[in-house]
Structure formats: C-alpha cells, structure tokens
Amino acid sequence: MRLGFLGAAGEVTGSCYLVESGETRFLVDCGMFQGGPEARSKNLRALNFGFDVRSIDFVLLTHAHIDHSGLLPRLSMLGYKGPVYATPATIDLLEVLLPDSAHIQEKEAEWQLRHRHRRGAAERGIPAPLYSVMQAQTMLQQLQPVHYGKSFHPVATVEVRFRDAGHILGSALLEVTLSGEGKPRRLVFSGDLGMPGRPVLNDPERPGEADILFVESTYGDRLHRSLADTEDEIVDAFERTRAAHGNLIIPAFAVGRTQEMLYMLADLIRRQRLKPLKVYVDSPMASTATRITMAHRELLDRETRELITWQEAHPEKMKIEFVADVEASKALNEIRQGAVIVSASGMCEAGRIKYHLRENLSRSECSVLITGFQAAGTLGRRLVDGAKLVHIFGQPVPVRARIYTVGGLSAHADQAALLGWLGGFRKAPGHTFVVHGEASAAANFAAAIKEKLGWSGVLLPSPGQLVVL
C-alpha cells in the first residue's frame, strides 16, 4: 500500500490524499490551496501526480469546503472522468460553491487585466483561472450521492462508509476497508471534525477502530473559548458598536459559519441578551447555502430545529435581509451606523466582504467580528495579528475599527475535543497521520496524542511525501 500526501500536510488547506492498494488507486478530497502568495503555484502543481489522472478509480469527498473540494474541476479538466462520492447535502452545496469558485477566479483575472491596462503594462504574466465556470459545471455531473451509515463498494476490493463529522452540513468522516492485498485493513479519514456541544449540527460520530488513521489538527495546539464566553464577546461587540454609532462587519464562511452566526444571534435575541435587530446577509452563496440548510433539517440538531420554529413564529425579532444584486450590496456602504453585515469570504480574501472592510476598517466607531480560522497569509489573518495598515484592491486602508476574534465558534474541534474523539477508538491504530494543521499545531497535537493517549506510530507527513506500508 502506498499513501501520498498531496496537500494539507504541514498546513491547513489543499486537502488531498492518494491511496494505492494493489491495482486500485483513489483520492480522498481534492482541495484548493488558499492564502499567501504561493497558493496559486501550489494549485498549479497540485495535480502533477506523476501518472495519468485517468488511472484514478474514484474520489471520496469528505465535505464541500473549497480547501477540500476546490480542485475537483481541475482534476476533471485534466482527464479524470470517474465518480466523486459525497453526501447529498455536500452535492447540493458543491453545485453552488464550485461554479462560484470559478467565477471568482475569472473576475480576478479580469480585474488584473483592467489594472494592467490602466497602468499601460503588458498583459504577459496575468494568471488564467485554474478552471472556468463551464468546467466546474461539467464536473458536477461526476458527483454520486452517498448517505450516512450505508456501506458501498466503489470497486470490488474497497468498502466505504460515510459517517457524520459534525463540521458543516453534509460533512463526513470516512471508513475505508481495503481487501485487495492480504488481510483487510481499515483506513479512517477524519475529514474536518466539528466541535461537540455546539449548535446547528449533530456531534461527530466515532468509528470504533482503524489500522491507519488520518486525523485533522487545525486546532490541535489550543482550546476554544467556552460557548458562554463566546456569547459574552458577541454581546460586547454589538453593544460597543451600537453605542459608538458604527457598523458591525462579520466576515463569515458562506457555508456553515453564516448559518451558525444567524443561529447565535437569534438565540441571543430569544434570551433577551440582544435587542431585536436587522441583519444583512450580503453573499449570494451564503443565501443559497442557508436555503440548502433549511432543506436538510433532518441533519440539524434538536435545539436548532426548535429555534427555527421560534424564529418563524417571531420574524419581527430578527429581520434578515438576503442581499442579492450588486447594486443593493453597494448601497450597504452608504449606511454609516447601525448596520450588521454578514458577508463572505470568511478569510476576507475575496467576495463582497472586501468592499465592506474597505469602507469600514478606517472608522474607529466600527467593529469587525472575526468568527473563524484565518489561514497564514490571508487578509483576515493580518487583521487578527493586529495589522495597523492593510491593502485592499491595491489601496492602503488604515485599521482603526476594533477587531474581535471569537474563537468559540470554530467549526473545528479543539485539542480536547480531538483527543476525546480519538479516545473512542477501541485500540490505537497502527499508524496515525496527523494532517490538516499548520506545522506547529500538527506537531503539538502529535505530541499530545503520544503523551495523553499513549499511542505510538504517530507521524507527521511532509508535503508531497509518499509513504509505503
């Protein structure tokens, strides 16, 4: 058996793992690298496997986030035409996310071309999109739905079962049993694991055993704030901004974090910790993702279903306006106080959030509520790290707004939750690969596994490494 770590090894984005067993070759995830100046070159090199991509038998997808799915259209474009297995909710989300990813790339290329023309510069070196909207839509035809808990055989020697990972709608951890080479071996891929006890989704399921484990470590070196502390900080951000007569800008991932923020705000209003308010959701993708979430209520936890019922009975308590067209989005920047704007992208790298930050960051009466992980090299990370000046669309913008970092809303399990999930295994896997974490987080988590669980065979793969077992 050979295992290839094609992404999310020593870093968070670009998840992609290659498994070769006998004559079978498959991928788990095919994600885009995000953040930092090297992301594009990494994405261009990512699918240079050293073999014909048409030899891949199938792809298993843990969830819809672009750092796990974003290179699927490029894989298809390069010749892979086989099935990509994912949960029905993941497929619904991909129908929005992948064409949107292509659209953003096309618009970015157009912007750079116009910028070069204004400067009178040559057009050489303008990066082309990794794939087009049409290529993304073509790839969607390769998606095959798989329901939680039902095992299937993509090929005769491989059995797969998807289980609820509690990370975003439709997210899955994978149990993969290989029987093609001697004694059957079980591989478990954690995907991204959700934080137990958090609203909206069910807690992650626990597989009983694994011979080989791939476990994420995004927050493997830290603990999240408690939900109570998180609520206190949200209330403080709202009250401070209201008193200062400013706007509150909330960068939020369109899938998962936006819906969780809407839950949190509605719940705080229901408990009278916040006054009734109006929220602008300025992201077409987030609007669609919210509609998809409501169409999959069976995947939501009991508390969330009860809150939805309350909100539907009291629509005046929290008015939500989903902003669709560009002109309506631009009009939000004319509001000088009292606006609560939730917009994508969550790391402030693309989309409408950049316009809202450009208009509000320089105003001391405004606040920015950072609600999720910010990868190294992103605008969101620079804000979290305390930058006093940032550049947006090539223009310098002083940072005078107050920046709040709400760590307790993370869709990723923290170290204690990850160790708790690992504690559900009946025995230690023979090999545990710690992935999907920045180098320091992964190393600290690997040390915690050895020290607190007593496991051996805990490994830190390097980018592009090929491991033979």
Confidence (pLDDT) at 181: 74
pLDDT band for position 119 (cuts 50, 70, 90): low
Tell me the CATH class for 227-409.
alpha beta
Name the residue with tokens 């470590």: 217
342-376: per-residue pLDDT in tens? 998 888 888 899 999 999 999 999 999 998 878 78
Separation between Cα atoms, residue 212 and residue 186, nearest integer Å: 6
Give the pLDDT band (50/70/90) at residue 303.
Answer: very high
Q: What is the pTM of this model?
A: 0.89
Residue 468, burial from CB neighbour count under 10 angstroms (0-12, 13-18, 19+): exposed
Distances (CA, A) of 52 to 57, 70, 76, 157: 11, 20, 12, 22
Contact assessment for residue 88 and residue 162, using Cβ atoms and an 8 Å cutoff: no
Q: What whole-number distance in Å separates Cα of residue 79 and Cα of residue 241? A: 52
pLDDT above 60 for 158: yes
Mean pLDDT score, 322-338: 93
Whole-angstrom Cα distance, residue 310 to residue 254?
Answer: 23
DSSP state string for 225-262: PPHHHHHHHHHHHHHHHHHHT--EEEE--TTTHHHHHH
DSSP conformation class of 408: G
Average pLDDT, the chain: 92
Confidence of residue 110 (pLDDT cuts 50, 70, 90): confident
Q: What is the DSSP letter of 201?
A: B
Tens of pLDDT, residue by residue over 456-465, are 999 999 999 9
**Whether residue 120 has pLDDT greater than 70:** no
Which homologous superfamily is 2-222+411-468 in?
Answer: Ribonuclease Z/Hydroxyacylglutathione hydrolase-like (3.60.15.10)
Answer whether residue 277 shows pLDDT above 80.
Answer: yes
| Type of residue at 352 | R
**Domain residue limits, the chain:** 2-222+411-468, 227-409
CA-CA-CA-CA torsion for 340, 343, 348, 352, nearest 10 degrees?
A: -110
What's the pLDDT tens digit per position in 35-72? 777 888 888 887 776 678 999 999 999 999 999 999 99
Q: Are 28 and 71 in contact (CB under 8 A)?
A: no
Mean pLDDT throughout 150-165? Answer: 97
Sign of the torsion formed by the C-alpha atoms of 310, 312, 313 and 318:
positive
Higher pLDDT, 189 or 34: 189
